[in-house]
Every structure is written in structure tokens, then in C-alpha cells.
Amino acid sequence: MTPRENFGSRATVIMAMAGSAIGLGNIWRFPFIVGEYGGAAFIMVYIVCCFLLSMPILLSETIIGRRTHQGTFGAMNTLAPGSAWKWLGLLTIFSPLIILSYYSVVGGWSFAYLCKAISFQFKPENAESVTSMFGAFSSSTWAPLACMVIFLGLTALIVYLGVNKGIEKFSKISIPVLFVLIVIIAVYSITLPGAGEGVKYLIKPDFSKLTPGAYASALGQSFFSLSLGVGTMLTYASYVNKNENIIASAGGTAFFDLLFAILAGFAVMPAVFAAGITPSSGPGLVFETLPFIFAKMGAGGQIISVTVSILFFLTILVAALSSSISMMEVGVAYLVEEKKVSRHKATISLFLITLVVGILCSLSFGTLSDIKLFGLTIFNFCDRLASNFLMTVGALLFSVFVGWKMDKAAVKDELTNGGTLKSSSKLFPFVYFLIKYVAPVTIAVIFILGFIG
Ligand code: PHE
């Protein structure tokens, strides 16, 4: 049997994990939620939430993955053989595939919009029609499907190349590139006339907007943004070698994810305000509002705005790809390790499965828009199911597993590399307290409150 691959260094671990974390969540949801819930006041809540609730989950997944060097199912079976915990292993193979199915639809749109930007379709004379262009495009049948196949195909190709030649290489190049791109776009956006209001929207603290909903949104957003509760971080951690300081790499990942989200805020919102538009989130923001802005700013044939629109959609595409590969890797690791299928076959099978669900998600914007599950279209149903339910339940169970099922000595051993890491040893009591009590209790309360209403 070929030896299991490992990430090469601390930097690669952080780049791969940050690659999974940085994605659509940072670009199309974070900037909007920040403004909606009180700017800097929300950012403070978000940071506290990241470090007190999301970090313990990230560490729980990392502990399980690195301890066993196995994917989700194998890891659970090794640490709790013959127990019901194997269902958590199975659940977390299924969840990322659901996310991948609808995420690929959006990945496909990003590819399509990159092509539109390159072919100068966002022109001043088109400005008004640019917004309606998205509705027409997403509800059509073939073009979005073709773009989704390309996106999913690229994802499968990178995953097929393996952990070192595919995922590691791609993340090492894409993460620095993404940071450079988002800084360029932010500088452009902030220097537009009238951008000041957008900057204010992001940084002016308004504590009156910190409603209970703000806390639930901060938690949901930080789980989605850090790819938690669905086994992706666990699987990536299974490729981390035994000498690595996992508190440091988890901290680095959370830091870069947060930094990118804030930069994305400055890339998006000032431009939205400069154009005098009411901010929104989701597809509307990225595929309607921003192309409209690019088109308007292009008045006078400015080459700069065309360039920025190309860079913007390239950023979205690359960020989405670096996340989608982590979703596919979870299932591939399972098939290769547990079912002894070749990486080649595993990748193709998952490509086909997600393609089928992805087609349904894509068509739910047009031909299948009448099909409703619990009152939601197929696309929205998959999104809700994954981000409101599967991620939270998965995250909760991972922290319960590490805090209550695993042996405390084993957890300590893993976090401190057998006691050799002095700083981690000092932090251990605090981190363990977060994993065992703070995270599960708070997440359960927020989850239940969310259900009640
Ligand atoms: N973190 C990714 C984003 O912000 C989404 C994601 C969710 C990736 C779950 C992997 C697993 O877009």
C-alpha cells in the first residue's frame, strides 16, 4: 500500500485549511451581515465567537483527525470502536457532499461571470440590464449546467492529483494570490467617490443592533466560514504530521479567514455605497449589484473597472475552488481508506454523485423552481439543511466527543505533542474547558433558541 500523504510544513497546513475556510462565505455573506448587525460591534462579537466557540470546534476536529490519521468514518471507528459514534463519521461524509452540490452551482456562475467580465459584457450602456442578466442566466438550463460541470471538473481534477500534488500545491498558490487580489479590489473600492459611507457601514459600532439574532448569525457565519462540523477540517488534519503544533495552525487558519472576511468587506461595501445601492447579501450582491457597479464605473471606457471586474470574479472562482476541493476530499478519503477504492475511481464517483444533485440545484432556479421541499427550492433546501442544521449538529457532536468521550490524557497528548510544547501545555486547561463546557453548552442553547424562533 502506498504510504498516506502528509502536508509538508506548518505553512502548508495553514494554507490548505485557510483555503477550505476562505470562500463564498467570506465574500458574499460576511460584509453584509456586518453592516446589518451593527458594524464594528458585530465584528467584536464575531471575533469572540470565533475564538471561544469556533476555535474549540476546529481544535476538536483537528485532534480527532491528527490523532488517527484517518478520515471521519475511520477516525470515529478507531477512537470509539463499535459505538454509535460511527454515525457521526457517516453523517460528516454526507454533509460536505450536500454543500458541494449547491456550492458548485455558484462556482459555475463565478466561472460564467469571469468569462462575461473578460468579454467586456459589463459596459456602461448595459448597466441597467446587467442586474436582470443574472436572473435570465441562472434560470436558463444549459449555460449554468455547463459552467457547473467545468467547476466541478476542476475540483475533481485537483482532488484527483492528491494531497501533495493537488490540494497542497493549489492552496499554496491560491491563498497568497487571493490576498493580493482582495487588497487590490479593496483599494479600488475605498478610493471611489462616495465610498466613505460604505466604510462607515462596516466600522461604525452600533451596539443597539446587537439583537439575539446577531449572536446566532455570528455563530452560524463563523461555522460556515471555518468549514466546521462537516468533517473537512478533520480530514485535512489527518494529513498533518505529529510534530505540528495544532493550536498554532488552527489559530493561523482562523486568523487568515477573519482577515480575508474583513478585507472582503472593504472590497465590497464601499463600492456598493459609492454606487448609491442598498446592500444585500448572497447571489444578489455578487452577481447583480457588483456587475452593475462595474458597468457604471466603466463609463468613459475605463480599463481599470474592467480589470477590477475580472479580478473580482477570478477571486470568487479561486476562493470557491479552494473550498470545494476540501468538501470532495472528505468523501474521497473515506472511499480510498475504508472501501479500498482507487483515488481515481473515488474522485470520479463523487464527481458524478455531486453532479446529479448539483444539476437538481441548478435547475431549481428555472425548470424545477416549482418543486419545493419544506417550502424551499432544492438549492435553498440544501443550503438550509447544511448550514443551519448539519453543520451545527456536527460541530456540537465533535466537541462532545472530544470533551466527554475521549480520554482527557489523549486530548492533552495531542494538543501538546506529548507535553513537548510548553505554550500549548499552559493553554491546555483553558482550551479543554472551552471544548468540554463552553462550546457545547453555548452551541446547544443557540441552536435550540434558533429552532424556537
Ligand atoms: N468555508 C467555506 C466558505 O466560507 C465553505 C465551506 C463549508 C467549505 C463547509 C468546506 C466545508 O465559503
* Contact residues of ligand 1, CB 6 A cut-off: 20-21, 23-26, 96, 99, 224-225, 227, 230, 232, 323, 326-327
Q: What is the whole-number distance in angstroms between the Cα of residue 178 and the centre of ligand 1?
A: 16
Nearest CA, atom 6, ligand 1: 227
Q: Average of pLDDT values for 318-330?
A: 98
Atom of ligand 1 nearest to the CA of 319: 12
Q: Average of pLDDT values for 194-216?
A: 90
- Which residue from 176, 219, 182, 189 is spatially nearest to 19, judged by alpha carbons? 176
| b/e code 285-319 from CB counts within 10 Å (16+ = b) | bbbbbbbbbbbbbbeeeeeebbebbbbbbbbbbbb
The region that residue 375 occupies, defined by phi over 0 for left and psi between -120 and 50 for alpha, beta otherwise, is left
Is the Cβ–Cβ distance between 133 and 389 less than 8 Å?
no
| pLDDT tens-digit map of 343-359 | 999 999 999 999 999 99
Instruction: Check pLDDT > 70 for residue 387.
Output: yes
- Tell whether 394 is covered by a domain: no
Q: Which domain holds residue 48?
A: 10-388
Q: What is the whole-number distance in angstroms between the Cα of residue 220 and the centre of ligand 1?
A: 12
Q: How confident is the model at residue 131 (pLDDT cuts 50, 70, 90)?
A: confident
- Which residue from 4, 159, 129 is spatially nearest to 66, judged by alpha carbons? 4
| pLDDT tens-digit map of 168-186 | 999 999 999 999 999 999 9
- Number of compact structural domains in the chain: 1
- Tell whether 62 is covered by a domain: yes
CA 259 to chain centre: 14
305 or 326, higher pLDDT: 326
What's the confidence (pLDDT) of residue 300?
A: 52
CATH of the domain at 94: 1.10.4160.10
Q: How confident is the model at residue 417 (pLDDT cuts 50, 70, 90)?
A: very high
Distances (CA, A) of 442 to 52, 390, 394, 449: 10, 17, 14, 11
- Tell whether 400 is covered by a domain: no
Q: Determine the Cα–Cα distance for residues 368 and 298; give it in Å rounded to an integer.
A: 36
Instruction: Provide the grid cell at 139.
Output: 434560470
- Tell whether 303 is covered by a domain: yes
Atom of ligand 1 nearest to the CA of 96: 11
Percent of the chain topping pLDDT 70:
98
Is the Cβ–Cβ distance between 229 and 392 less than 8 Å?
yes
**Cβ-proximal residues to 70 (8 Å cutoff; 6+ apart), any chain:** 78, 238, 333, 337
**Cβ-proximal residues to 165 (8 Å cutoff; 6+ apart), any chain:** none
Atom of ligand 1 nearest to the CA of 323: 8
- Tell whether 397 is covered by a domain: no
Q: What is the whole-number distance in angstroms between the Cα of residue 226 and the centre of ligand 1?
A: 6
* Cβ neighbours around 122 below 10 Å, total: 26
Q: Average of pLDDT values for 190-205?
A: 91
Instruction: Check pLDDT > 70 for residue 134.
Output: yes
- Which residue from 422, 415, 413 is spatially nearest to 245, judged by alpha carbons? 415
- Which residue from 56, 102, 11 is spatially nearest to 411, judged by alpha carbons? 56
Instruction: Check pLDDT > 60 for residue 301.
Output: no
Q: What is the whole-number distance in angstroms between the Cα of residue 118 and the centre of ligand 1?
A: 27
For 37-41, 124-128, 310-314, 328-332, which range has the lowest pLDDT when averaged over its residues?
A: 124-128
**Cβ-proximal residues to 176 (8 Å cutoff; 6+ apart), any chain:** none
Distances (CA, A) of 265 to 185, 282, 285, 392: 11, 13, 12, 25
Is the Cβ–Cβ distance between 66 and 414 less than 8 Å?
yes
Nearest CA, atom 3, ligand 1: 23
- Tell whether 432 is covered by a domain: no
275 or 94, higher pLDDT: 94
What's the confidence (pLDDT) of residue 453?
A: 56
Is the Cβ–Cβ distance between 219 and 53 less than 8 Å?
yes
Nearest CA, atom 12, ligand 1: 23
Is the Cβ–Cβ distance between 135 and 291 less than 8 Å?
no
Q: Determine the Cα–Cα distance for residues 28 and 23; give it in Å rounded to an integer.
A: 9
Q: What is the whole-number distance in angstroms between the Cα of residue 61 and the centre of ligand 1?
A: 15
* Cβ neighbours around 45 below 10 Å, total: 20
- Tell whether 438 is covered by a domain: no
- Tell whether 421 is covered by a domain: no
Q: How confident is the model at residue 276 (pLDDT cuts 50, 70, 90)?
A: confident
Q: Which of 91, 227, 260 is the best mutation target for the ligand 1 pocket, counting ligand atoms within 8 Å of the beta carbon and taking the most?
A: 227
Q: Average of pLDDT values for 97-110?
A: 97
147 or 212, higher pLDDT: 147
Q: Determine the Cα–Cα distance for residues 366 and 420; give it in Å rounded to an integer.
A: 58
pTM across the whole model: 0.96
